[in-house]
Amino acid sequence: MAKAIRRGNRTFLQRFFFDPLTAFFVLIVYTFFQILPAKTASNLGAKIGKILYKVMKKRNKIARINLNIAFPEKNETEKEEILKNMWQHWGRFFAEMPHGQYFYQNARTKGMETLKDLHQKKQGCFVCSAHLGNWEPAVSAPLFDDYYLNPVYRVANNKWIDKIMFQRRKGTLIPKGTAGARLMVQVLKNGGGVVILCDQKLREGIEVPFFGKMVKTAPATATIALKMNLPVIMAKCIRANDGLFDIEVSQPLPMPNKEKLGDEKAVYELTKTINQTIENWIKENPEQWLWVHHRFDKSEYK
């Protein structure tokens, strides 16, 4: 497991007073949900989500802008209903975190043979997902036999919260940053599957279409996959009406011909395909995407 990397400039009070105090509160909440039966925790999380919808006004403002961009054809009532349901979904998400193994063991899976085949061939791969549904079950237990997905994640500034919330995940944890990039390449060379959430904005990213807008998108997945000749697989874990999850793993995406297109164009085309797939997922289950982050150009949020 990679050790923590840069955590920002933490003051003495933050490191030795506020961080431990905050982490202690988080630990109490996490333990409380852990003690509850999985579905009870999930239902309680939904009720907390209803409260968050009413109080998170700044985040709701961002979400409404995003919804206006993504769904100009929907009326205000429809978009507000998506926003309400989104908060309930994410309330459930956090309450379900201690129960990741339970939800994976009870999930319905489709396309897992794709990963099994790669595992048998000892072939590394990228598994691209998004802040959609619940990705925790897939990193909380072996998917099959001794096969774990290895998640790329942002190390929390608060090291105690990092231990409570993230370091319980299975597989090799790959922190974002230079040290994490080296670890990721090593995992891929050893035949591992690296799972990464591909829907975040990156200031240094390339411009790629998403819901009709050109958005900054991280090209690293496409760049490394094309350079190392690795398959890129799309995977989603969607909440179903019965409270359990449907996990769907795709066949490897068609790879652009970099000899014909050139490296930059090939990276663009593969990243575009990833974005388009995620966009289609969101259209199918809009209440399960995290609408409250700045995904589009900053000019949209003025």
Q: How long a stretch of residues is the chain? A: 302
Q: Which pLDDT score is estimated for 8? A: 60
Whether the per-residue pLDDT at 179 is higher than 60: the answer is: yes
In a domain, 16, yes or no: yes
More confident of the two residues 12 and 177: 177
CA distance 196 to 245: 19
How far does Cα 80 stand from its chain's mean position? 23
Q: Which domain holds residue 20?
A: 12-301
Within-domain flag for 1: no
| pLDDT given for residue 287 in this prediction | 98
What DSSP state is assigned to residue 210?
A: E
Does residue 7 surpass a pLDDT of 70?
no
Mean pLDDT of 75-89: 98
CATH classification of the domain holding 110: 3.40.1130
- Return d(Cα 150, Cα 116) in angstroms, integer: 15
- Tell me the per-residue pLDDT of 206-228, one tens digit each, with 9 for 90 and over: 999 999 999 999 999 999 999 99
Give the 3-state secondary structure of residue 299. Answer: helix
Domain assignment present for 245: yes
In this prediction, residues 84-109 reach a mean pLDDT of: 96
Tally of structural domains, the chain? 1
Residue 196 lies in a domain: yes
At 134, the pLDDT band (50, 70, 90 cuts) reads very high
Is 30 inside a domain boundary? yes
Higher per-residue confidence, 15 vs 205: 205
Residue 7 domain flag? no
247, pLDDT greater than 90 = yes
Cα 224 from Cα 133, distance rounded (Å): 26
pLDDT attached to residue 5: 45
Q: What is the pTM of this model?
A: 0.92
- Assess if residue 237 is contained within a domain: yes
The pLDDT of residue 47: 98
Distance between the two ends of the chain, CA-based, in angstroms? 41
Give a yes or no: residue 2 inside a domain. no
Q: Which range scores top for mean pLDDT: 32-36, 173-177, 181-185?
A: 32-36
User: Which residue has better confidence, 237 or 8?
Assistant: 237
